[in-house]
Structure 1
C-alpha cells in the first residue's frame, strides 16, 4: 500500500492507536465548529475516517505494541453523530433563549452580516421544518441557520427530528466510507488535489496577466 510511505500517513497513524484521545477530540472539534469557528466538521470526519482506516490495517501501519487499542469505526461514528446533534441543538438553544438581540452582538454581526441572516430567515420561513436539514447539508450557514431556527422558536422536536435525520445520513457515512474504502478514495482525493492545484495556478496566471494588461493600458492612456 503506497499510501503508507507518505509522511502524512506515517505521522497520522500514531493517533489511530489512541482512541480515547480521538473520541475526545471529535467532541471538542464539533463544538468549536458549531459555535462558528472556521473549522469545517467535514475535516474532522475525514480525519477520523482515515484513523479508523489505519487502525483496520495493522499490517501496513504497525501498532506501537501488540494488542494496542484502535479507533473503532462504530464508536467513532456514534460519538460523531451525537456530538454533531448536541452541538446543533446547543446553537438552536442559544438562539431561542437570547433571541434577535444576538444579531447585534459584535462577533455575530461581524461573522454573519444582516443580509446573510435575512436570507437564512427567508429559507426558514419558506421551507419550514425542512430548513433544518438544508442548513445541515450547507457548510458556511449551519451556525446562522441553527441560530435562526432557535430565534424563530421553531419547535424543538421538529428541529431534533430533521437535524437528526440529516446528521444520520451525512456524518457516519463519511467515516464509514473512508474506514472501509480508504485507499481508493484517498488516491482519488490526492489526484483531485493535483488537478485543483493546476487549476488554481492557471487562474492565478490569468488574473496576473489581466492585471498587467490593465496597468499597461492605463499607462498608455
Structure 2
C-alpha cells in the first residue's frame, strides 16, 4: 500500500478534529513535495461528511487554509529558487526547463488573473504555480486569486459529493483510473481553443 492509500485509510478511521488535522497536514505536506493527490484527497474528505467524520462547513474552512498554504509554498519555491531548483536531478524530471518556460510565457501573457484558472487545472497546477512564482508575481495576487478560486471550488466539490451520495466511491475510482488521460485531454482542449482563437483573429484581419 502506497503513502497516499495509507493516509486515505487512516483518514477514514478518524473522527472530528484529528481528521481535520490530518487533512490539513496532508494538504500542507503536498506543498513540501509529499506524494499526495490533492483532488482525490479532497473528494474522499468530502465523502466522509456523509459518514459524520467531518462536517461540511468546517471541512471547507480547513481545506481552504490547507490548499492556500500548499499553493503558497509551491509559489514561494518558484519565487525563491526559480530555474535554479531545476538543476536538481529529481526536480528537472518533475518539471523540465522547457515546460517551465512555456508556463512562464502563459503567466506573462494572461497576468495574475491566470492564477484563478490554475486552481481548476489538476495535473498542471503545481507547474503553473511554480512558474507564477518564478515570474515574481506579488504574493498578494496569489492569495487574492487563488483564494477566490478555492472559495468557488471547495464548496462545489463538497456539496457536489454530498449530492451524489453513495456514488462517491465510483467517482473516486473513476478519477484514479482515468487521471492519466485527464492531462492529455485537457492539453488537447487548450490547444484546440487556442487554435480556434488564432484562426478567428486571422480570418478577421485585413488582407
Residue correspondences, number:
170
The structure having more radius of gyration, on CA atoms, is 1
Distance change (3 Å), C-alpha of 1:189 and 1:92: closer
How much has 1:51 moved relative to structure 2? 0.8
How much has 1:100 moved relative to structure 2? 2.5
Stretch of structure 1 that moved more, 124-133 or 168-177: 168-177
Counterpart for residue 169 of structure 1 = 152
1:49 to 36, 46, 51: 46
| C-alpha distance in 2 between matches for 1:106 and 1:191 | 32
Could you state the TM-score of these two structures normalised by the residue count of structure 1?
0.67
Counterpart for residue 36 of structure 2 = 39
| C-alpha distance in 2 between matches for 1:123 and 1:190 | 30
RMSD of aligned Cα (Å): 2.9
How much has 1:21 moved relative to structure 2? 2.2
1:29 to 23, 26, 29: 26
Residues 40 and 139 in structure 1, CA contact (< 8 A), matched pair in contact too: no
Residues 17 and 71 in structure 1, CA contact (< 8 A), matched pair in contact too: no
Residues 58-97 of structure 1 aligned to structure 2 (within 5 Å): 70-97=53-80
Q: Does structure 1 residue 141 correspond to structure 2 residue 131?
A: no
Distance change (3 Å), C-alpha of 1:109 and 1:187: closer
| C-alpha distance in 2 between matches for 1:192 and 1:149 | 31
Gaps of 5+ in 2: 1-8, 179-207
Could you state the TM-score of these two structures normalised by the residue count of structure 2?
0.71
